[in-house]
Amino acid sequence: MQLYPAIDMKGGKCVRLTQGLFDNVKVYSDTPADMAKLWVEQGATFLHLVDLDGALAGHSVNEPAIREILKQVSVPVQLGGGIRSREAVSTMLDLGISRCIIGTKAVEVPEFIKALVEEFGPERIVVGVDARDGMVAVNGWEEVSSISAVELCKQMKTFGIRHIVYTDISRDGMLKGPNVTETKRLTEETGLDIIASGGVSGMEDLEHLDESGIQGAIIGKALYENRICLPEAIRRFQRVGVFTGWESLKKNPDGLIPVIVQDYENQEVLMLAYMNEQAYEETLESKKMHYYSRSRKSQWQKGETSGHFQYVKELRLDCDSDTLLARVEQVGAACHTGARSCFFRKLEPR
C-alpha cells in the first residue's frame, strides 16, 4: 500500500481543515517545504499536496509554496486544488508535479478528463472524488453534485483513468477512521487504484485499509498530531513487492544478479545494472535502487550524486530466479549521458 503524507496549503502555510470547512483551520507550519523535507527524511516516497485556496478560487494560488517544495524534495508529488484547465495541468507537470488531481472539472465537464488522459497519459492525471453521504462535492467541497461517487469512478474508468483519490468529507480531519467499507466497495466495483483519504487516525486504520486491499492511503492530521510514526507505517504497510531472501536467488559466477530497470508509468526499459547482496538488502530497506558497480568494484545508490533517484514501486523475479525486474519511479534521467533511457541507440538490421 502506497502511503502519501499530506501537505495542505492555505495562505502559503501548511494547515489542516476539519470536514473541509475553511473556517476550521489549524496551522502546523509556516513553511510547507520544511514539512515536505521532514516527511521525505522519514522515508516518504510520494507526497500529496492540496492547494486549498486554489480549490476555492479555481486556479493555482499557492504556486510559490509548491515550487519551493519541488526544489527541496526529489520524490514524486501529486497535487490537487484549482486545476481546472489544460494549461494549468501542463504548467504543473512542467514544474515537476508527477500527478495532477482533478476534482470539480471531472464532474462539470467529464470529457475534459478524457482529453487530458489522451494528451498527458493515465499516470499523470488523477481524479479526486470527494463525497458527502455518497454524493460528489465540488468547488472546494462547498457544493454537492447530483452524481454518486461510484458513478463518477466508473465513468472516469472509461476515459482511461487509473487512480482515484477518494475522500469521505465527513471523516476528513476528524481522526475517527476512514470509510473503509465504501473505499473497499469502490476498489472492488471499479478495479481502479482507489487512494483512501480522510479520517486516518492511527496504525489500526492503516491496517484495516491494507487488509481490505486498498492500494493507497493519504495521511494528514494523524501525522501532524503524532498519532502515526511515518517510518514505522512505511515499514509495515508500504511493501515493494518481493522479499525473497538473497540466498534463494541464482547468482552469476561473480555472485551478482542482473537487474532490468523499467519505468513504472509507461513500461519503458531504462537501464541494466547488477546487485550484490548488500545492494539487494539496501534496496529493500530504503525503497531506493542500489547497485554494485563491476567497473569500480563498489556499492552505489542511483541518484546519490546526480539526484536522479529511482524509487521502487515493484520488484519482480523471473521464472529461473536469476534476474530481477525493478519497476521504478524515475527522477530525471536514468542514463549517465543524460538520456532518459540507456537504450537510446537504435540498431538497423543489415
C-alpha span between 235 and 175 (Å, rounded) = 22
Active site residues: 8, 130
C-alpha span between 227 and 234 (Å, rounded) = 14
Burial letters 72-103, b for 16+ CB under 10 A, else e: ebbbbbbbbbbbbeeebbeebbebbbbbbbbb
Long-range CB contact pairs, 280-289, < 8 A, 24+: 280/246, 280/249, 281/246, 283/312, 283/315, 283/326, 284/240, 284/243, 284/315, 287/43, 287/45, 287/234, 287/238, 287/240, 287/311, 287/312, 288/312, 289/259, 289/261, 289/326, 289/328
Who's near 104: CB < 8 A, 6+ residues apart? 55, 58, 84, 138, 139
Coil, strand or helix: which one is 168? strand
C-alpha span between 42 and 52 (Å, rounded) = 25
Identity of the amino acid at 246: W
Q: By C-alpha distance, which of 138, 156, 159, 163 is closest to 76?
A: 163
Who's near 180: CB < 8 A, 6+ residues apart? 196, 205, 208, 209, 212, 214
C-alpha span between 172 and 166 (Å, rounded) = 11
Please list the alpha-helical segments (H only) found in the chain: 32-41, 52-57, 63-72, 86-95, 104-108, 110-120, 149-158, 180-190, 203-211, 221-224, 230-237, 277-286
Task: Yes or no: say if 213 and 183 are a contact pair by the CB < 8 Å rule.
Answer: no
